[in-house]
Chain A
Amino acid sequence: MTENLAQTVPWQSCAITEIVQQTPSIKSFFFRLSKPFAHIAGQHVDVRLTAPDGYSAMRSYSIASWAISSPTIELAIERLPDGEVSQFFHDVAAIGDEIELRGPLGGHFLWPEPAIDPVLLIGAGSGLVPLMAMIRQRRALAQVVPTALLLSARTAEDVLFSEELHSIEISDPMFVFALAITRDQPVRASDYARRIDGVMVQEVLARLYRKPTQVFICGSNSFVNVATDGALLAGLDPSIIKTERYGG
């Protein structure tokens, strides 16, 4: 978990190779790294945009892909109402554009390697992104560690990576997937039609067989507070809970 970087993580210019509309508000952007790196699931990159007058804007985005040997990373970016950078990506960026980024960054919100004890993942909206990198890494490495994902979304069509998650759920008995749909009726009987609470976390934990020793929660600050309270009410120890909150 501890990461002591020997040297500065350099900026690099990366071409956008593919753009995929994932949900009404989230698009995936695939970047071909000019200086390829291997990251740990959960890490992020900093992205820097520069205007002709020299003004630059920087934001951090979690990496959605797992570290395969291919020199491409996927970022899933939500279009925010006042988002200077996210609106550029959604409205302006095109395949072939060169974007500056640096990474991998972050040494806390990381998939445990080796993954032995059960893991609980809780996310909302684009807060799924670092959790998805973890789920993809686990799957790509054929890990059998019991893992549960409790994912909150407004409606079924707001569920990021929905098809992929459902297909992992079907093929992997050690992967538990529950949706909390807050503004619509859920499609499946095993899903919930309310915000996350302690009872819900407890029911998802019951499907994990053993108590998790690591919990990762990602989303807006208000969501993370609600989900953390739920996890604590379900009897989990605060010291095993790692959180990542969107900021500014």
Chain B
Amino acid sequence: MVTRGFTGRGSGGDQSNRIPPGQHLVENFPVLSAGPTPSVDPSDWTFTVKIGPKPVKVWDWSAFNALPKTKITRDIHCVTSWSKLDTAWEGVLVEDILADAGLERPSDFVLAHSYDGYSTNVPLADLLSGKAMVALNYAGKPLPRDHGGPARLLVPHLYFWKSAKWVNALQFTTRDEAGFWELRGYHMYGDPWRQQRYTND
């Protein structure tokens, strides 16, 4: 349905093929979160991989930083409709974390957990093959608190609520378990190119 009198700013020119439907480009980096911004000192920080309720391996900040680091530059898409192109991250790929824990495919589903009690579900396949990392740096600097520092999950090909800020655990689950927003009306998978914003979209 055409809206009377609306022409819009245009769809991003030659970058339009990088902007999913219903999204608009931003130059800034908006901050969204459901509660207070946690303050986690790296000296207190730990990261745990679990199978169900059982911890398999726990890293402290220095042990985690000793894992192989990877740099990736990706476009990111927030369900609130902004997209940001060419964001530069550095962190530890999920397959490198699992290798260090001596794990391959304990199950097909993962719940990411965060220091503020947040959680979100991602199929394991979407975390492997260089698709996802636990990011420690953004644009060449330590990740700011507002953006999830000291560490956040980064799954850039899904809507950005899947990239859990202040992440502190990946938990393998036998079924695809809904996380915080998925229990509150948002889509279980969240593919921006299919506009999977809300439940059953």
Residues of A within 8 A of B (CB): 1-9, 13, 46, 48-52, 55-60, 84, 88, 92-93, 97-100, 105-109, 221, 225, 228, 231-232, 238-239, 241-248
Contact = CB atoms under 8 A, between A and B. Distances in A.
Given A5-B198, A51-B8, A58 B184 contact: no
**Top 9 A-B pairs ranked by shortest CB distance?**
A248-B82, A107-B184, A247-B30, A221-B31, A248-B30, A92-B5, A5-B199, A51-B8, A107-B185
Given A13-B1, A98-B1, A225 B37 contact: yes
Interface residue tally of chain B, by bracket?
35 or more
B159 to A, nearest CB: 12
B62 interface: no
Q: Is the interface of B mostly helix, strand, loop or mixed?
A: loop
Contacts of B185: 3-5, 105-107
Q: Is the interface of A mostly helix, strand, loop or mixed?
A: mixed
A212 B172 CA distance: 37
B22 A50 contact: no
B43 interface: no
Contacts of B33: 243, 245
B24 A84 contact: yes
Interface string B155-186: 00000000000000000000000001101110
Contacts of A50: 1-3, 6
Q: Which of A49, A99, A231, A246 has the most CB of B within 10 A?
A: A49
Given A84-B24, A221-B30, A243-B36, A2 B184 contact: yes
Contacts of A97: 3-5
B24 A248 contact: yes
Contact of A108 (B3, B34, B198): B34
A2 B6 CA distance: 36
Contacts of B22: 48, 56-58
Given A2-B183, A108-B34, A239 B199 contact: no
B103 interface: no
